[in-house]
A and B are shown apart, each in its own frame.
Chain A
Amino acid sequence: MLEFFKEGLLQFLSYSGFGNCTWGHIIMICIGLVFIALGIIKEYEPLLLVPIGFGIIIGNIPFTDGLQVGVYENGAVLNYLYFGVVKGFYPPLIFLGIGAMTDFSALISNPKLILIGAAAQFGIFAAYITALLLGFTPMEAGAIGIIGGADGPTAIFISSKLAPSMMGAIAVSAYSYMALVPVIQPPIMRALTTPQERLIRMRPPRAVSHREKVLFPMMCILLTAFLVPTGLPLLGMLFFGNLLKESGVTKRLANTASGPLVDIVTILIGLTVGASTQATNFLRPASVLIFVLGAFSFVIATASGVLFVKFFNLFLKGDNKINPLIGNAGVSAVPDAARVSLVEGQKYDRTNFLLMHAMGPNVAGVIGSAVAAGILLSFLY
């Protein structure tokens, strides 16, 4: 009897997390806890970091294979939820929500700001070149480069197609840097601008009519999707969501897209992406390189945006000049990057409100990163 009890207990222990735990699991669980702490205490993108952090914990609870509980095991509930990430249908749904939330007025009223959004995409391709030099394949390099777009859903969408084995690392890296926008961007902005430039006051944006707002998504989808049809899932949903918002006659749909729908998908995407970072797949030298390259692409993207504004200012006169502190907003971390512009701008002039101006390149960055994603797919997929 005692023997049976002892054997049963040992068998149970071998099935439990204690019996299968490795250092890798513990490290990953600690990373998950740090994410949650950053989200709750520092309030860095809590809507993303809390689900991802908890997902990391869930994904790194040690277990014996074959129990159908892991995210990579066929038939497991988490595996079904992860399907939306693998097949890439969560990101377009998030883009639908982003479209339904985003007000493009700042961009419509000052169209030249859209070019900042284009310049900031250079981070993606700089990281692509560097990743190639470090020995990654072109597909992997493309997936890593997209981190510089500062767009979590786009990073997941691209990596699910180009480098599924790296998706966990890429997604976590992208979301981490998005959350760390207030930490990463200000030093670069300060280093690349002069005190005089930081004081530039921009002309207040004009009022945008309802007709312009309704026409904008329709015209944009025609212009961009004709050029890059591979970006259609993201661009189509983004502009469709925006049309729902701006048409004024589909408020219920817009509310659902920008509220419950995007919340549900954010929960699922955050949790499953976090869960996909199982220590066995995640703790590899390649993941460290991905994080380093991700940071690099983010820095280049920010610097490209700021430097482009400085270059652009050479051709602008008077109150048409642009404050280079909004150049960082060319990355598509909406609205965090724009908020950084505001905060930095107010450090030098308390009465200079750059938020609305920065929203222009910020939403242009969303369009730009979706277009860049489409180009990467057309070249590499």
Chain B
Amino acid sequence: MKSIYKYIFTVVALFAVTASFGQSVHDLRLNEMMIKNEDNYADEYGRHVPWVEIFNTAYNTVNITGCYLTDDTTGLARAGKKGGEIPARWYRIPTDQKMYMPQRSFLIFFLDNSPLYGPYHANFTPAESKTHYIALISSNGKELLDIVEYPVELRDTTRTYGYVLDGVRDPKAFKQGKRQSGELDFLSEFTPASSNETGVKISKQDKLKRDDPYGIGMALISMAVVFTALIMIYIMLKIFNYVSRRATQKSKAQEEAAKANVAAVKSADDKEVEAANAEEIAAIGVALHLHFGSMHDEESEVITINMPSKHYSPWAQKELTMKRNPRR
């Protein structure tokens, strides 16, 4: 592979990889849920119905349009296939609604089997469900983005269940279909559309102080980012260099070819001139002169300078007084 393509490929790959890591529905969590809602959070119609809270753990906006909410994942393998049927208890977050979740934001969906009530109302309700979990599935119907298995007693209590620390889960355990103990639990307070961490809030600064007391971690990450940014510019400049060198080589080659061409034409002309005698050349010259001369009108060849009078004004100029399209 030519080096230029290597560089271009690296830049594009870097963009693609960082973009794919940056904006991902994989950052979504089913953060909190309430199944028995008697006098708690009400929907826009004032009804107290089961709800689930989705949390965007990422620090960028995530589009959740097309993802599915369900309490029945049995059709996962089928639905993911081309032309696969979408199971009845899968609620597709409407594609005609642009549902962008800003960084670290929460969004509530009501599980009331009333999709006609609006985009935030699912087509199933856990009260009628045989299972006791809620799942969030990717828009292609293939991936389980998050699944929260709740205790059966949640159906009989007016408490909420969810992540003790907002959206924090062990990715390794989740891949194996397990959960770390204490990751999910009954929550001491119900906090729809807000953080589950209701205890003493740790500021960003204190958190940094706790997690990285000597600043070495941050220093390493920061230096890595600075180098990455400048290496990306370095790669770009290398591409510039390559293109510029190629352009220079090309223009040089063209110049040389043009020079060679001129030299060839010149030598051919010289040979022709040598062959023709001077009288012939003079005759041709006269003929050409007469020919081109006859193409023009006869001019008086007298040049005059008309000095403007003392009272000259462009308003008096004849051409300015004429209409653009004179009529007869």
Contact = CB atoms under 8 A, between A and B. Distances in A.
Contacts of A371: 225-226, 229-230
Contacts of A172: none
Interface stretch (B149-157, B174-182, B213-221, B305-313): B213-221
Interface string A170-210: 00000000000000000000000000000000000010110
Contact of A138 (B208, B223, B241): B208
Given A227-B225, A375-B225, A376-B222, A112 B234 contact: yes
Contact of B237 (A107, A224, A375): A107
B99 interface: no
Nearest to A223: B232
Contacts of B100: none
A36 interface: no
A220 B209 contact: no
A376 B229 CA distance: 15
A112 B238 CA distance: 9
Sorting the interface of chain A by its residue count into under 10, 10 to 19, 20 to 34 or 35 or more gives 35 or more
A224 B222 contact: no
A227 B228 contact: yes
B284 interface: no
B237 A114 contact: yes
Contacts of A368: 226, 229-230
Q: Which of B18, B222, B225, B232 has the most CB of A within 10 A?
A: B222
A227 B60 CA distance: 12
B215 A138 contact: yes
Interface string A130-145: 0011000111010000
Interface in A208-229: 208-209, 212, 215-216, 219-220, 223-224, 226-228
Contacts of B300: none
A115 B222 contact: no
Interface in A18-63: none
B222 A125 contact: yes
Interface in B210-261: 213-216, 218-219, 221-223, 225-234, 236-238, 240-241, 244, 247
B15 interface: yes
B204 interface: yes
B205 interface: yes
Sorting the interface of chain B by its residue count into under 10, 10 to 19, 20 to 34 or 35 or more gives 20 to 34
Given A121-B223, A227-B225, A137 B209 contact: yes
A18 B80 CA distance: 83
Contacts of A219: 233, 236
B206 to A, nearest CB: 9
Nearest to B213: A132
Q: Which of A209, A216, A364, A379 has the most CB of B within 10 A?
A: A379
Contacts of B213: 132
Contacts of A115: 227, 230-231, 234
A254 B231 CA distance: 28
A48 B221 CA distance: 33
A109 B233 CA distance: 13
Nearest to B207: A138
B229 A111 contact: no
Nearest to A365: B230
Contacts of A125: 215, 218-219, 222-223
Nearest to B208: A138
A209 B244 contact: yes
Interface of A: 107-109, 111-112, 114-115, 117-118, 121-122, 124-126, 128-129, 132-133, 137-139, 141, 206, 208-209, 212, 215-216, 219-220, 223-224, 226-228, 364, 367-368, 371-372, 375-376, 379-380
8 contacts: A118-B226, A206-B244, A209-B244, A212-B240, A212-B244, A224-B229, A226-B18, A371-B230
Given A121-B223, A216-B237, A379-B221, 10 more contacts: A111-B233, A111-B238, A111-B240, A117-B230, A125-B223, A138-B209, A223-B232, A223-B233, A367-B230, A380-B204
Please list the 7 inter-chain residue pairs (A to B) with the smallest Cβ-Cβ separation, ordered nearest first.
A111-B237, A125-B219, A118-B230, A129-B215, A223-B232, A375-B222, A132-B215
